[in-house]
Structure 1
Amino acid sequence: MATEDGKPKVFISYSWGNATTVTRVNAVADFLEGNGVWVEMDRYQEPGSNLYRFMEQMVRDPSIDKVLCFCDRSYTQKAEAGQGGVGTEAAIITPEVYEQVKGNQDAARHRYVAVAMETDDHDKFSLPLMFQSLMVVPMTDPARDTEVYPELLRIAAGQPRRVRNVTSTLPEYLQGNATRHALGTEPKALLARMEARNQGARRATAALREYLEALSQGLAHMSPGEPGSRTARLDQEIQTNRPVFQEFAQVVDAAAQFIDGPLEPTLYGFFQTLITHNFSYQVDRDRQDFTRLAATEFFVATITALIEHRRFDQAAGLLTRAYWERAQDRDARGYELLCYGPEDLHDDRWLEQTRRALRQASGLDPAKYNQADALLHLRGAFHRSYRWHMTLVSDWMRSGLPLTREVTNAATAVPLETLLDLPLARIVQRLDDAATPGQNDPLAWQTGVLGGPGYLMNLEHLKKAL
């Protein structure tokens, strides 16, 4: 029964036997109260009050909507032994809990909620026997307590524990009217995303590696499109395999967000495989057109996801690696090899339109895509390495780089310095030189005419941070 002002009422039951549990339970109570829930618990009782009597009253009080029982080993031991206030509560609520399990009491149904705070010696939830048939809210990892708070709030408000996603659609490859891409990587992509969200780093990384291996094999063995002009054939291959780009972007985004372990070695191995295929003299040029374009978009998507989820060290690691080494002349080239588009395909306007469409359909923020493209271009120019042919330079010039807007002082410049491998003062100097008329700067030559509103905004903002 809600209070007069409409707040749901919750009684929190727990044991004082573990100081860590007490702290965690109080944090939950603070969150619930801060979000409109009336919380009853012993912390509000005056010193010297009869807490056993209070607990008994709360359990029997019909105005209490939910009883949240936070169960650790101490709680379980006291409930089953009938000790202390927890034992008193257990004796009162046990019959009602059993009726709730059987569904014989509508008034009591869903009133009692067990929250598992610890596991036992067998790695199972530490729960009193009366709660073992109830649906349990897992909260056994103190480091992730805050992730459970919204679920407990919904329970307190009498809402379902999970919100149904009514806006989602079937994956494109499962829709009856969709053209399924020919690589067959959809199940492994789905598994990689699920493992990234739900499993430990080792298992999630293994699933990511399996997906990338399947993708590289599929790309290496895919058949070229129907005979015709190279542009028409490449366009057909892109349309047929358009879901591949969205699929890849979703996988790397999930990996960057949820896998805590290192991603760089797995991703580097994948891009090395693509480069080997794209520059092999044993592969027909027509079969390399699609994979060269795909390699560029995959790499930009990867850097986009890593920056979006603040994995700057992993992104910088990929940018520092050597992707091509020739022993005879000791020539080592970096990530720029991944921007070699379809060889001798002189149709830049079509390529620009195609890449913009692929990025807009990826599910990632197009502005963040353009930022990654720009940073790849700038880093290559700053270090006078091989050219990163940025096809969407005009988009960047208009919008600027979101990452630079975070830079207000030396401390906040670290992500930008890490990605560009230069100190902030040197970054500003290079950008200023390139934007100055009459300067013979390779950055200005590679970028075209500098001075778009986004570019100048970034430059002036960075100057203020020095």
Structure 2
Amino acid sequence: MTAIKVFISYSWTSPDHEDWVLRLATDLRESGVDAILDKWDLKEGHEANAFMEKMVSDPDISKVVIVSDRVYSEKSNKRTGGAGTEAQIISSEIFSKEDQNKFVVAVTELDDEGKAYVPKYYTSRIFIDFTDESKFAGSFEQLLRWIADKPIHKKPELGSLPKYISEPEEAVVLATSAAKRRAMDGLTNSKAFAYPATKEYLELLSRELEKFRLPSDVTPESDEFIENFQSFAPYRDECIEIVRAVSDYTSDEKYIELIHAFFERFQGYFHPPKNVNSYHDTDFDNFKFFAHELFLHVGATLISSGRYEAFNQLVATPYYLANRADRGQEPMGNFTEFRHYLKSLEIRKQNLKLNRLSLAADFLHDRAGASGIDFSKIMEVDFLLFLRAELADLDYYDRWYPDSLVYLGYGHRAFEIFERSRSKRYFERIRPVLGNATKEDLDKLVEGYRADPQTLPRWEGSRISPVSLMGIQNLCSVP
């Protein structure tokens, strides 16, 4: 494979700057790039201007790196000196050729206002920032990727618009947008009506959920079943906006009580309406999934905002389960009511012969991006809820099964919240997330898993590793 040829244009500003450019060129060559530099390739007796013009316009030169500091920028703008000559050649090439991806500026100096020194002909273009020596490695990788046309963020394949957007007449539509706008205005602008507006929105959303109830003839294999799941996504995201505003703009715990009450009402949809006597257990699986997904997103939002006590309040406060009370059973339940085994998804997987470990995990993964929450945070809170149930020593049937961890991959390190908890001070801050468990409590839990690993969740023989996901050996290891 032929090495990519790259010409480096720069100014002889100072010996230190020349040494820096020489180091950059050397690093490029050691990384497999055929860097061309005047110090190496402009021989005695050669005409400098002709050399520069050839380097800039030669079709064999794939890329041109413009190392721009104050001197280079000023000479380019004034068209004086070597940099000025190259500026005339480069600017002509940039504006007359279709392939403008041949040139990039590597900035090495900022002005007094913190703005990059770049030639005027380049001011509207993206540059690579080399002004912070401590970040040289990252900037150099960015430059290498540009040279090789291998960007770190690869454009994904084009998919299809969700049906609730492309065919809104077939989607479930809720009348919550006006209430949501009013609540957001109250929260973000600290208005007096913020609390009643938030309460109004959450209560309205609770009532509107009835519109998602599936007809009895809709089977798990059908398109209508999936379209129902898809239709909930914009309302999930709408609700998360409210929760994010609550997290960011108020510390009053009464707002968390509103969110708790919303989930308490949500649980009512896990059962048939009082006037319905004939039903299947799978008829309510869509509601169970919506609640599960939303609970994870709300938890991730609170943790990302540092609202550890609020997260604990949502998880630790018991939930009144009216359906149990109606049957004379214990009416107070816990947060594990929002994670259920969904038989309908298993039926869909088997009947459509879908070779997937968990459709629930797939749905959680594929729908996560639109909410603005990274899926790694969904997995993190899923694992935390698993630990909460384990630390509480709940009944086997009340365990929290962390479906999303199917996506962990091989060799996953500890989640961020535990990596940061190497610091004892940080661990003390986040202890409410764990129900105020101590390091000793976690050690005891881990010892139990070592003694009986069969109790750990698994998929096709592969078990999760709480030891690794907590980084237990590093926990509280520094002040």
TM-score (norm 2): 0.53
Alignment partner, residue 72 of structure 2: 75
Cα–Cα, structure 1 residues 15 and 263, in superposed 2: closer, same or farther, change >3 Å?
farther
Cα–Cα, structure 1 residues 141 and 435, in superposed 2: closer, same or farther, change >3 Å?
same
Give distance in 2, aligned partners of 1:267 and 1:232: 42
Cα–Cα, structure 1 residues 405 and 265, in superposed 2: closer, same or farther, change >3 Å?
same
Out of 375, 390, 396, the position equivalent to 2:384 is 375
Corresponding residue SS for 2:364:
coil
Structure 1 unmatched runs, 5+: 187-201, 203-211, 253-260, 327-335, 438-443
Identity of aligned residues (%): 14
The equivalences for 1:261-340 within 5 A come to 265=248, 273-279=258-264, 294-301=290-297, 314=306, 319-321=311-313, 338-340=335-337
Out of 93, 96, 103, the position equivalent to 1:102 is 96
Aligned-pair CA distance for 1:277? 2.4
Residues 78, 84 of structure 2: 8 Å contact kept = no
Give distance in 2, aligned partners of 1:213 and 1:18: 65
Corresponding residue SS for 1:361:
helix
Aligned-pair CA distance for 1:275? 2.0
Give distance in 2, aligned partners of 1:450 and 1:357: 20
Out of 215, 218, 222, the position equivalent to 2:208 is 222
Cα–Cα, structure 1 residues 450 and 372, in superposed 2: closer, same or farther, change >3 Å?
same
1:128 partner amino acid: P
Residues 42, 51 of structure 1: 8 Å contact kept = no
Aligned-pair CA distance for 1:152? 3.7
**How many residue pairs get matched?**
390
1:170 and 2:160 aligned: yes
Cα–Cα, structure 1 residues 74 and 459, in superposed 2: closer, same or farther, change >3 Å?
closer
1:362 partner amino acid: L
Give distance in 2, aligned partners of 1:39 and 1:175: 50
Structure 2 unmatched runs, 5+: 178-187, 189-197, 274-283, 319-332, 349-357, 369-374, 475-479
Cα–Cα, structure 1 residues 18 and 373, in superposed 2: closer, same or farther, change >3 Å?
farther
Give distance in 1, aligned partners of 2:404 and 2:154: 37
Residues 97, 112 of structure 1: 8 Å contact kept = no
2:337 partner amino acid: Y
Alignment partner, residue 60 of structure 1: 54
Q: Describe the superposition over 1:311-341 as per-residue Cα deviations: whole angstroms up to 9, x where unpaired.
A: 6x94856544467889xxxxxxxxx955434
Give distance in 2, aligned partners of 1:185 and 1:59: 63
Give distance in 2, aligned partners of 1:51 and 1:213: 82
Give distance in 1, aligned partners of 2:78 and 2:102: 23
Give distance in 1, aligned partners of 2:408 and 2:83: 61
The equivalences for 1:344-383 within 5 A come to 350=343, 353=346, 357-363=359-365, 372-383=381-392
Cα–Cα, structure 1 residues 30 and 88, in superposed 2: closer, same or farther, change >3 Å?
closer
Cα–Cα, structure 1 residues 324 and 161, in superposed 2: closer, same or farther, change >3 Å?
closer
Q: Describe the superposition over 1:69-126 as per-residue Cα deviations: whole angstroms up to 9, x where unpaired.
A: 133333211323455xxx21322450453254134xx8x9765444456666788764
Give distance in 2, aligned partners of 1:130 and 1:394: 53
Cα–Cα, structure 1 residues 14 and 218, in superposed 2: closer, same or farther, change >3 Å?
farther
- Root-mean-square deviation (Å): 6.5
Corresponding residue SS for 1:6:
coil
The equivalences for 1:166-205 within 5 A come to 167-172=157-162, 173-176=164-167, 179-183=170-174
Cα–Cα, structure 1 residues 285 and 240, in superposed 2: closer, same or farther, change >3 Å?
closer
Aligned-pair CA distance for 1:224? 1.0
1:12 and 2:3 aligned: no
Residues 367, 399 of structure 1: 8 Å contact kept = no
2:386 partner amino acid: H
Aligned-pair CA distance for 1:389? 3.7
2:6 partner amino acid: V
2:64 partner amino acid: V
Residues 12, 40 of structure 1: 8 Å contact kept = yes
Alignment partner, residue 139 of structure 1: 129
Give distance in 2, aligned partners of 1:127 and 1:164: 27
Cα–Cα, structure 1 residues 8 and 136, in superposed 2: closer, same or farther, change >3 Å?
same
Q: Describe the superposition over 1:16-73 as per-residue Cα deviations: whole angstroms up to 9, x where unpaired.
A: 6599987986776466435421112367699xx9899768734534454332113333
1:91 and 2:85 aligned: yes
Give distance in 1, aligned partners of 2:225 and 2:402: 25
Corresponding residue SS for 1:340:
helix
Alignment partner, residue 279 of structure 2: none
Give distance in 1, aligned partners of 2:142 and 2:313: 43
Cα–Cα, structure 1 residues 141 and 393, in superposed 2: closer, same or farther, change >3 Å?
same
Give distance in 2, aligned partners of 1:136 and 1:411: 34
Cα–Cα, structure 1 residues 369 and 91, in superposed 2: closer, same or farther, change >3 Å?
closer
Give distance in 2, aligned partners of 1:240 and 1:81: 64
TM-score (norm 1): 0.55
Alignment partner, residue 327 of structure 2: none
1:429 and 2:452 aligned: no
1:375 partner amino acid: L
Q: Describe the superposition over 1:375-422 as per-residue Cα deviations: whole angstroms up to 9, x where unpaired.
A: 3133244257999944537998x9999899659xx9898499756454
Cα–Cα, structure 1 residues 358 and 181, in superposed 2: closer, same or farther, change >3 Å?
farther
